[in-house]
Chains A and B, each alone.
Chain A
């Protein structure tokens, strides 16, 4: 018997007047489990627990949550990476409205993503087969296209907590730069115009929480800096 103490954020708006933390004891049999495995074991004890999960291998981005104070994907985070004093504390992603237990309403996050028009725009006539790109130009998209929209970065960002309706957030800005950096896209001017106000991009204070938590090892702060350089060279 090797018991792991797990404290889980519980909230059911239909029955609870306020959120509370519920304690569970999990027998790990000495193994270092992924946090998602622990959650499924808790669900065996209490089937009312709600959380999102799908691929369980860090590809779908469904199980982003706050584990012992740090955002990450439960499926690819080992308990040993986050545990403190033999205790695991699981909370929903911070800053977004909680729908139930560990499930948050991602509406604002997706709205900001949509605002960045995350699709290729090119008003020149389409070539017969496809728009070609040199290998060097294609390399510019590395570190940008891999985002899985798990929202770990944006919900770790205080600027997004305070102004989620106005600040695009690191995830959306990484995608904005993914299309600004793409040589096949020619909507650069309208994309930059959308980001020039004091909130959309410039509310980033460069604290790099996004970089610290990204489960895919991406760097939104760098992308934001690149957009800032493009805005500056465009306007001076």
Chain B
């Protein structure tokens, strides 16, 4: 057992599962978005705003944002432990990534429910 404290799930198994499940959510969200844009070639603000005013779309979008946040944390944590051998540089990178993910997530909630 190799110890680890800055990865998302505190376990390789849970990180791996989070990565797989979040990938499926992101794939479904991406396919939905592309399909929606294809079916609405002359998309205007009212239609777009109408889509995001519905509760199911807000839940779906928040799920996608959380999946993106988890996916990025697991993925970039892995990249940092592969390539950044200096402990200070690696911890700084991980801290910046986690901070950025937090900011983007809160911002995403504000976009979905604000205004």
Contacts and interface: CB of A to CB of B under 8 A. Distances in A.
Contacts, number: 50
A101 B3 CA distance: 35
Interface stretch (B10-18, B38-46, B102-110): B10-18
Given A162-B83, A163-B81, A202 B15 contact: yes
B13 A199 contact: no
B7 interface: yes
B80 to A, nearest CB: 11
Given A166-B2, A232-B17, A196 B83 contact: no
Contacts of A27: none
B82 A200 contact: no
Nearest to B82: A162
A200 B2 contact: yes
Contacts of A162: 81-83
Q: Decide if the interface of chain B is mainly helix, strand, loop or mixed.
A: helix
Interface in B1-32: 1-4, 7, 11-13, 15-17
Contacts of B4: 197-199
B interface, how many residues as a size bin? 10 to 19
Contacts of A128: none
B83 to A, nearest CB: 7
The CB with the most chain A CB atoms within 10 A, among B7, B12, B81, is that of B12
Interface in A192-209: 193-203
Contacts of A201: 12
A228 interface: yes
Contacts of B11: 196-198
Interface of A: 158-159, 162-163, 166, 193-203, 228, 231-232, 235
9 contacts: A158-B82, A163-B81, A196-B1, A197-B3, A198-B4, A198-B11, A198-B77, A199-B81, A200-B1
